[in-house]
Structure formats: C-alpha cells, structure tokens
Structure 1
Amino acid sequence: MRELVFATNNQHKTVEVRQLLEGQYKILNLGDIGCITDIPETGHTFAENAALKTSYVHLNYQMDCFADDSGLEVEALNNQPGIYSARYAGTGGDMANLQLVLKNMEGQANRKACFRTVVSLVQNNENYLFEGVINGTLREESAGVKGFGYDPIFQPDGYAITFAEMSMQEKNEISHRAQAMNKLIAFLKSLQV
C-alpha cells in the first residue's frame, strides 16, 4: 500500500482522514515520520498555509504528502476567525476559541457561518489544491460532545444538530474536510487508472 504523509500533528484530523482513505493509502502524520518541527503558517489564505506545510515536508523528507488548512468563517465577524481559527483566542485552545466567538457574536442576528478546508497535495513533484465548504449557522450555546474545535456551535444547513452531536461517520459524509478529501481521493484514484 502506498504511503502518503498527512502534514499534521492533530490526532483528530488524522483519525478522520485515515477513515476516509482506509484501504487505499497508508496515512502517516508528522509524528510518524519523526517531524517535530512546528511548521509556520504564515500565509494569508488557507491555500497558502496548506501549501507551506506540504512544501516543508516534501523538501525535508522527500515524501509525497498533503496538508490541509481549515477554519470557521463567520459572516457577521467579517469572515473571522478564518485562518486564525486554531489560535483565535491566543494559546487558550479549542474551548477558549469557541468562547471568544460566542462572546463576539452576542446580540448578532446574522448567525451565518461556514467551515472551509483547502487541501494541498504534493505528488511526483507537482502541486494540487482541493477545496471543501459547508455552510451553516452558529448556535448561541454549545451542544454535543463529539468532534473538536467549533463543532459544538456549528449547525450545518439542513440539519437540526451541531457537528458535535453527529457521529464521526455522519460528519465525514458532509464536512468541509470530507468534501476536500473526497476531491483529493478522486484525483488520487484517477492517477491509478
């Protein structure tokens, strides 16, 4: 089975992606290849940040790899936290980030938001990008204990529950990351024909 490096240390993302690519590729993460560098995300877009990670791994480890950058974009907050989603509240982590979004949304009637993922792939010295977006609304209070990040306050359009109330399988069928990964998977399969 071919190996692909997923340029992340996030175990939640690794588990999600391994399920999506199960039986097709052996997915390694940064820890699996011994990469302990905190790859800087200095880009101004999700695409730039994802490409920075794949370029670093490809240059330093000579392995085909992919990386994603994703985040929550809230219409009433001028699409913030956006690329700063993981560090919106500084170093406080997921709960602090979620609480800051809720605080900044107090009194806002417009609750529209989306999750966006851009996946960068480096394979055979070529670069490719794949994007996924899911629209929804922000709840005023957290609901559910599954998932991570902003999942407890994000209710995707067409659903009465948050991402954090869905099973991983349900979330993987519709999420922004699943959409981008499905495009990546379709591309990888087309290369094997």
Structure 2
Amino acid sequence: MRQTIVLASNNQGKIKELTRILADLNVEILPMNHFNIPSPEETACTFVENALLKVRHVAQLTGLPALADDSGLSVDALNGAPGVYSARYAGENASDQENYQKLLHDMSNHPDNRSAHFHCLLAFVRDPQDPTPIICDGVWHGRLLAEPQGSNGFGYDPVFWCPELKTSSANLSPEQKNQVSHRAKALAEFKARYQQLYGQ
C-alpha cells in the first residue's frame, strides 16, 4: 500500500528536490499547503530541534506521517551563522538574493577564511507522539564565493563553491546537485532507514 507522507515545508525548491530524490520510494509526498496548514514558528536554536518541532506540528494537524527538513548554511568565520536563521538572515520574508548579499557583506572582513558548510537535518515521524523518529543529517563542505555565480538552485547556491565539481552550486544541474548536496546525503540515509522500517 502506498503511504502518504506530508512534507513540513512550503519551500518550492525543497519540495522539488525532495520529491525528485525520493521518487523511487512507494510513497506519495504532499506539501503542507495541500492541507492549508500554518507553518509553525521555528523557535529552536538547532536544526534538529526545529525539524522535530515542524514534523510533530504537521503530523498533529494532518494525522499522517510527516517529514521535515531543517537546513541552512554555517560559515566558520561567522561562528556558524547564519545557521538556523539562513532563510531569514536579512530579515523576515527576505529574498534569497537579500540573504546571500548580506552574507557576502558580513564576510567582507574575512577574505582568507571562506569555509562554509550546508547542513540538512531530516526528521520523520509516524505520528505526533512517535518516540523513535527517524533523524538523518547531511553535510556538504565548501567555500563562499566573493560574487554570485549561476542561476540554478535556490537559497545560497549562487555563492557556495562546490569543491567536488569545481563550480558554484547554482551552476549545477538538479541531477548533479542531487548526487553531492547535504540534502541528497540526508535523504539517502532516510531512504535506507525507511526501507528497513517498511520493507520497501
């Protein structure tokens, strides 16, 4: 029987990436806006706590299994910022461009320390009180560029240098990105654990 999983996100970029990577699982993935669910406030200071907050919120309101992705960019020279505030680094409702331009501005005093890491924390629960959620973590190591490059992807992709393929993340095709990204790594772990759990 095909299981329906509610994705605790309305971010179209994330929805496309997750749906594409999980296409070979026998599941139907529906975004939370399919149910007209309000987004929960992400009040925690870690990716894992925010992911659990979101996934339990969605499972509670839909009565269905739920999957949440909390992800962001961590920059060494900025003590891990923007971190959990990546989507609103330049303020609430900031655009992707506003966020990465603020980041480039904040990095202007750190010309020699450009190391940065994308983190993706996935949480899956079968129901709101699930005592053993599946939690998966993926990390993508790279460097910040001085200027944006490329037009694919979303978020900080234009200013993130991918060392494996020697270009910006925003210059990668979806297929290339889904082989090396933080989200791809976390989702690969999730798929393996989901298949173990449900025998798919």
TM-score of Structure 1 vs Structure 2, range by shorter chain: over 0.9
Q: Does 1:173 pair with 2:179?
A: yes
Distance 1:28 1:78 in 2: 35
TM-score (norm 1): 0.96
Amino acid at match of 2:32: L
RMSD over equivalenced CA pairs, Å: 1.1
Query: CA offset at residue 84 of structure 1?
Result: 0.3
Amino acid at match of 1:34: N
Q: Which residue of 2 aligns with 1:96?
A: 98
- Counterpart pick for 1:141 among 144, 147, 150: 147
Give the length in aligned residue pairs: 192
Q: Which residue of 1 aligns with 2:190?
A: 184
Distance 2:187 2:41 in 1: 22
Q: Does 1:156 pair with 2:162?
A: yes
Query: CA offset at residue 21 of structure 1?
Result: 1.1
Distance 2:24 2:141 in 1: 30
Identity %: 38
Query: CA offset at residue 123 of structure 1?
Result: 1.8
Distance 2:46 2:162 in 1: 23
Amino acid at match of 2:62: Y
Question: Structure 2: any 5+ residue segments left out of the alignment?
Answer: none
Amino acid at match of 2:102: L
Q: Which residue of 1 aligns with 2:119?
A: 116
Q: Which residue of 2 aligns with 1:38?
A: 39
Question: Structure 1: any 5+ residue segments left out of the alignment?
Answer: none
Could you list the per-position Cα deviations for residues 84-138 of structure 1 after superposition, in whole angstroms to 9, with x for gaps in the alignment?
0000000322111100000011141100000001001102534221100010000
Could you list the per-position Cα deviations for residues 134-162 of structure 1 after superposition, in whole angstroms to 9, with x for gaps in the alignment?
10000000000000110001012333201
Distance 1:93 1:156 in 2: 22
Distance 1:166 1:158 in 2: 11
